[in-house]
Structure 1
Amino acid sequence: MTETARIERDIEAARARLEGTVNELAYRAQPKVIAERQAQSLKLKLNEATHTPDGDLRVERVGAVVAAVVALVVVTALIRRRGRR
């Protein structure tokens, strides 16, 4: 094989790798794919925060979250009520 043929083969291989990289980046940059990735990450974090490594529910953490949500709802209701007067 001549030196020119080897260089051309190397260039083609580099182009193929670059094309694959560009295609992967274009796929990852799609808004739908980004949203799916974020949703999956959020679900995983929520599961880790509310369950032990064995899969048991962490009642104390779930209770704290429920209490925080209830407090937020109460505060929101009070603010709305005050604004109507």
Structure 2
Amino acid sequence: MPKNKYACRVCGYIYPVPPYGDDGDSPTYNYCPCCGVEYGYQDFTPEGVRMYREEWLSRGRLWHDPKEEPENWDWIEQSKNIPDDF
């Protein structure tokens, strides 16, 4: 189980509802406003998470939904939310 069941597996963004449901196994298929991953698709396996994260980082960590980017956003702090197994 992730450190925080609301955390995106790719970028550590804390989503308002659990992206994988309360049971941790039922993806919502919503998109992360930070990295843009579709919960349950690109982040379904640890390999998929790593690949998507590498792509997102190489694109400059741009927000998928720029309107949602907090003022003074800190990638290093947010990345601490990434579950250990991803």
TM superposition score category, shorter chain reference? under 0.3
The two structures have a TM-score, normalised by structure 2, of 0.24
Task: Please identify the structure whose Cα radius of gyration is greater.
Answer: 1
Greater relative CO, 1 or 2 (CA 8 Å, sep 6+):
2
Q: TM-score, normalised by structure 1?
A: 0.24
